[in-house]
């Protein structure tokens, strides 16, 4: 164990590589206090509609930059970077990287988890409807969906000649973002370690959820060579040591997918505890302990964490929502309805509940509990009185309604409803969203005053690892929180939720999929309306015309 040299005792670094940005944070192991951090934005590349890519080398350089700047910050605070005894990694999950083990260069841009180009690959695996979307769920815990890494690997093999050539010459490596970072930080072409942890591996569709190993039959179904896959390890152990930079020689000893890291950071160590993280998407994890619970209501079975190679794996049910914070960005960047995402709370509150608008943000289809890749965004309830604030309010309410969708499914799967919801992520700064979340779910919402719970989870895993052991799980104290109590009646709650379900019905069947048996929908329940992008633009054009005539300001 590294001796305690500074006034804060041993420090633990946390690399937090998300969909929109990379951060490096330093925590004091004794108090879980964030001492300093640095953040860098990561651009998205969108070659076609529905395609979302990122440059793996930009991601790697952002990690190195954030480490260097954060360590400079420590020095300015009169804290020695040498007090950092370990580093953990938490990352956007499912995002897929393939690279050349000889040159170290990516063979293609990373395919981000949101990317939908694999819709045809899904049809191929499902044999155009002959197989059900859940036919592999008992083995890997997941439905066949564009979301997961196996589909993205298959697309890269089918469509990128350089990938096929590298596989044939035995120099292709696959990894999610954690694997790409660990390989590069531990040496890259000069002996870099090709590893992942059980939480990230559980999101590929290639790991057996019971054995925690790559499953030959799953790899055969997707026709993916096992030679390109990384070794699977626990979430908390010394994997290797950083080979360069100011942290040279420091062990990387913790690794968790971002949502699982938040589960650890929220101290959800007991069966029945749950947390919801609000970021680009929204993800709710429910700790099921050592039991593997297979959902019958549209949820995923995943590994929550395994804190040590000899520790038992802890499983979770997960509800995944594709669009949360990104809906606010869409209103800002595509429609100009808001100037800053931070304005959304005031604008939503300015219109009240009169003239309610229901917004289903299905830009990437619908994830849990629906799993409908044919769904597209719709906005329902527009009238001539509709103001921009109604659209913003509808977007925020969509997040709260989708979380209720997931809680309803979890109650059915687990037999009893959740008593409170722990929350974290950037959107939790929005008090309006937190209050309506409590209102529409009918349970208290508990928000930690320290918002860095995802990064904290990676730091806990790293500091807890055997050989590091500066973070004792038994002594981890929950961070102080505030609480939002439901403020509307059950009747009000259920009326609004029933209208949300009507809006969901109208969002379905926008993409033709004549052979898809997964629609599971009665023909009489199908509704048709304009996609959100056309409807809202047309509506705002009419509103703008009315505004010109009346010489009053719409905004």
- Residue 165 burial (CB count, 10 A): 13
What pLDDT was estimated at residue 334?
A: 86
Q: What is the pLDDT of residue 365?
A: 86
Residue 541 has pLDDT above 60, yes or no: no
What secondary structure letter does DSSP report for 43? Answer: -
Q: State the pLDDT at residue 517.
A: 39
In terms of average pLDDT, the best of 111-120, 230-239, 330-339, 448-457 is: 230-239
Q: What is the mean pLDDT of residues 398-427?
A: 89
| Alpha-carbon span 294 to 46, nearest angstrom | 35
Longest dimension (CA), the chain: 74
pLDDT-wise least confident of 111-115, 158-162, 523-527: 523-527
The Cα–Cα gap between 67 and 361 comes to 35
Binned at pLDDT 50, 70 and 90, residue 355 comes out as low
Contact indicator for 118, 155 with CB cutoff of 8 Å: yes
Given this model, what pLDDT does residue 514 score?
40
* pLDDT 10s digits, 366-379: 888 998 888 999 99
Least confident of 187-191, 253-257, 272-276: 272-276
pLDDT tops 60 at residue 515:
no
Lowest-confidence region among 183-192, 223-232, 299-308, 511-520: 511-520
Per-residue pLDDT, averaged over 336-348, amounts to 81
* 3-class SS of residue 31: coil
533 pLDDT exceeds 60?
A: no
546 Cβ neighbours under 8 A, 6+ residues apart: 384
CA 150/CA 39 separation, integer angstroms? 30
pLDDT of residue 347: 82
Band of pLDDT at residue 478, cut at 50, 70 and 90:
low
| Confidence at residue 290, expressed as pLDDT on a 0 to 100 scale | 94
Mean pLDDT across the chain: 87
Structure tokens at 517: 């048996």
Does 132 score more than 70 pLDDT? yes
**Residues 88-128 pLDDT 10s:** 999 999 999 999 999 999 999 999 998 989 999 999 999 88
Residues 26-83 have pLDDT tens digits of 999 888 889 999 999 999 999 998 899 999 999 999 999 999 999 999 999 999 999 9
| pLDDT at 522 (0 to 100) | 34
Q: In which band, very low, low, confident or very high, does the pLDDT at 354 lie, cut at 50, 70 and 90?
A: low
d(CA 261, CA 264): 5
The percentage of residues in the chain with a pLDDT greater than 90, rounded to a whole number, is: 63
> How would residue 322 be classed by pLDDT, with cut points 50, 70 and 90?
confident
Look at residue 137 in the predicted model and tell me its pLDDT: 93
- Would you state the pLDDT for residue 342? 79
Copy the structure tokens of residue 421. Answer: 């919801």
């Amino acid at each position: 164990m590294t001796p305690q040299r500074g006034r804060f005792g041993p420090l633990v670094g946390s690399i937090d590589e998300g969909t929109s940005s990379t951060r490096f944070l330093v925590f004091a192991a004794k108090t879980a206090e964030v001492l300093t951090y640095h953040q860098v934005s990561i651009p998205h590349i969108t070659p076609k509609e529905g395609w979302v890519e990122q440059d793996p080398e930009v991601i790697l350089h952002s990690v190195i930059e954030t480490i260097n700047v954060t360590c400079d910050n420590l020095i300015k605070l009169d804290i020695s970077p040498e007090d950092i005894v370990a580093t953990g990694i938490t990352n956007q999950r499912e995002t897929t990287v393939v690279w050349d083990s000889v040159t170290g260069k990516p063979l293609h841009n990373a395919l981000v988890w949101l990317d939908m180009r694999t819709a045809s690959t899904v049809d191929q695996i499902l044999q155009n409807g002959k197989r059900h979307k859940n036919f592999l769920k008992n083995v890997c815990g997941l439905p066949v969906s564009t979301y997961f890494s196996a589909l993205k690997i298959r697309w890269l093999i089918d469509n990128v000649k350089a990938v096929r050539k590298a596989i044939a010459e035995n120099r292709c490596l696959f990894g999610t973002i954690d694997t790409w970072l660990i390989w590069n930080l531990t040496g890259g072409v000069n002996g870099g370690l090709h590893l992942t942890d059980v939480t990230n591996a559980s999101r590929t569709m290639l790991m057996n959820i019971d054995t925690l190993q790559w499953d030959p039959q799953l790899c055969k179904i997707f026709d993916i060579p096992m030679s390109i896959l990384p070794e699977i390890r626990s979430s908390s152990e010394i994997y290797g040591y950083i080979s360069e930079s100011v942290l040279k020689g420091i062990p990387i000893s913790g690794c968790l997918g971002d949502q699982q890291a938040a589960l650890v950071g929220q101290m959800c160590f007991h069966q029945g505890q749950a947390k919801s993280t609000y970021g680009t998407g929204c993800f709710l994890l429910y700790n099921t302990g050592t039991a593997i619970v297979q959902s019958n209501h549209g949820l995923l079975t995943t590994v929550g964490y395994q804190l040590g190679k000899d520790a038992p794996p802890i499983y979770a049910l997960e509800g995944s929502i594709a669009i949360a914070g990104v809906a606010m960005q869409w209103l800002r960047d595509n429609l100009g309805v808001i100037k800053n995402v931070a304005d959304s709370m005031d604008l939503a509150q300015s219109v009240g509940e009169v003239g309610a608008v229901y917004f289903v943000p299905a830009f990437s289809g619908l994830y849990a509990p629906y799993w409908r890749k044919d769904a597209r965004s719709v906005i329902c309830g527009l009238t001539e009185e509709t103001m921009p604030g109604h659209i913003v309010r509808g977007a925020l309410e969509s997040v709260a309604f989708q979380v209720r969708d997931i809680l309803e499914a979890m109650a059915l799967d687990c037999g009893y409803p959740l008593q409170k919801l722990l929350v974290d992520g950037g959107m939790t700064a929005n008090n309006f969203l937190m209050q309506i979340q409590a209102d529409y779910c009918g349970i208290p919402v508990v928000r930690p005053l320290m918002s860095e719970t995802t990064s904290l989870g990676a730091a806990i895993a790293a500091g807890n690892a055997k050989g590091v052991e500066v973070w004792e799980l038994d002594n981890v104290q929950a961070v102080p929180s505030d609480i939002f109590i439901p403020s509307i009646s059950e009747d009000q709650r259920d009326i609004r939720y029933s209208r949300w379900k009507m809006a969901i019905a109208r969002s379905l069947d926008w993409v033709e999929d004549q052979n898809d048996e997964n629609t599971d929908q009665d023909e009489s329940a199908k509704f048709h309306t304009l996609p959100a992008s056309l409807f809202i633009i047309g509506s705002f054009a009419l509103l703008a015309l009315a505004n010109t005539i009346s010489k009053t300001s719409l905004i």
